[in-house]
């Protein structure tokens, strides 16, 4: 209850600062009022076009994350096991992590056009995070635990499923949170610059050129809510897994 109260207090403070700023600025063109933004936010959820934009943006994010998880996870595991591959692949990962996002977007727009760019830029931004998480997760596992498992079963695939991945679950959950948060930001930026049809980025662009700044704020709130929603889903899944593991623990037998 205390945690909920603190969260509500924080939201109330943000609302108060927003109201004070609105009164000081005294121009809806620069800073719309919270009331207008809430009305615009409610209106977005009643428009089929807006709902379609949200759905398509989420679909693009899921596709990009799924591909990045498969490739980044697979190559990260390979790099964790094979030192030579890790050394060979590390410069590529470093380049992807350091190149400015806007530079990659412009290059991809030139090479691949407007259709594929949102998918590619999102993939390229979250791929290094996932690769590094799996790579470091494999490398940081206690070797004694691995040795104990190898005494029972020395097969690579079963070892990966029943030993390595369960021991890496914290790293995997953390990187999924990071990837979802970064992915939605980068994806919407790419959609905005490429003016991808039926997308949140395009909706933001149209709101800006139509001077509907209350709608711009409303879409921004939706993006924040989406990021919070991803975090809540992953944390919920993590909590359910912990409860399941606790439930499956062997019970001590009562002895007299």
**Whole-number Å distance between alpha carbons of 46 and 89:** 48
Tell me the C-alpha to C-alpha distance, in Å, between residue 19 and each of 9, 33, 37, 62, 120: 15, 7, 12, 36, 39
Task: Give one DSSP letter per residue of 28-80, joined into a string.
Answer: TTTS--HHHHHHHHHHHTT-HHHHHHHHHHHHHHHHHHHHHHHHHHHHHHHHH
pLDDT of residue 120: 92
**Whole-number Å distance between alpha carbons of 55 and 252:** 49
List all residues 6 or more positions away from 184 whose beta carbon is below 8 Å from its beta carbon: 57, 61, 223, 226, 227, 230
pLDDT in tens, the chain (256 residues): 577 788 778 888 888 888 888 888 877 777 888 888 889 999 888 888 899 999 999 999 999 999 999 999 999 999 988 999 999 999 999 988 888 888 888 888 888 878 888 999 999 999 999 999 999 988 888 777 777 776 666 666 777 777 778 888 888 888 888 898 889 989 999 999 888 888 999 999 999 898 888 899 999 999 988 888 877 777 777 666 666 655 554 444 444 4
Is 168 exposed, middle or buried, given 0-12, 13-18 or 19+ CB atoms closer than 10 A? Answer: buried
pLDDT of residue 255: 47
Contact between residue 67 and residue 123 where contact means Cβ atoms under 8 Å apart? yes
This prediction's pTM? 0.82
**Whole-number Å distance between alpha carbons of 60 and 114:** 13
Closest CA to 236 of 177, 188, 193: 177
Q: What is the token pair recorded at 25?
A: 């600025």
DSSP H helical ranges for the chain: 2-25, 34-44, 48-81, 83-98, 101-140, 143-152, 156-159, 165-167, 169-194, 200-209, 213-247
Q: How many CB atoms lie within 10 A of CB 165?
A: 16
The domains of the chain are located at 34-238
Phi and psi for 212 in degrees, rounded to 5?
A: -95, 75
Residues 198, 199, 203, 209, Cα dihedral to 10° = -90
The CATH class that applies to domain 34-238 reads mainly alpha
Phi and psi for 33 in degrees, rounded to 5?
A: -75, 150
């Amino acid at each position: 209850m205390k945690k909920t109260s603190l969260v509500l207090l924080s939201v109330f403070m943000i609302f108060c600062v927003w109201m004070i700023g609105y009164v000081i600025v005294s121009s809806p063109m620069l800073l719309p009022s919270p009331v207008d933004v809430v009305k615009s936010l409610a209106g977005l959820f009643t428009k089929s076009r807006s709902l379609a934009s949200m759905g398509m943006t989420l679909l693009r994010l899921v596709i990009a994350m799924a591909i990045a998880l498969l490739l980044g996870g697979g190559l990260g595991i390979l790099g964790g096991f094979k030192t030579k591959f890790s050394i060979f692949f590390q410069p590529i990962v470093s380049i992807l992590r350091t190149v400015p996002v806007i530079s990659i977007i412009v290059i991809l727009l030139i090479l691949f056009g407007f259709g594929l760019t949102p998918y590619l830029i999102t993939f390229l931004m979250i791929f290094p995070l996932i690769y590094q998480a799996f790579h470091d997760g494999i490398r940081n596992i206690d070797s004694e635990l691995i040795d104990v498992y190898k005494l029972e079963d020395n097969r690579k695939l079963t070892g990966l499923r029943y030993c390595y991945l369960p021991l890496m679950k914290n790293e995997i959950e953390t990187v999924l949170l990071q990837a979802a948060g970064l992915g939605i930001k980068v994806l919407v930026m790419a959609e905005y610059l490429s003016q991808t049809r039926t997308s949140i980025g395009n909706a933001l662009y149209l709101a800006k050129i139509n001077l509907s700044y209350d709608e711009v704020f409303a879409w921004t709130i939706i993006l924040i809510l989406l990021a919070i929603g991803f975090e809540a889903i992953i944390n919920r899944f993590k909590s359910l897994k912990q409860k399941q593991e606790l439930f499956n623990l062997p019970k001590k037998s009562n002895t007299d």
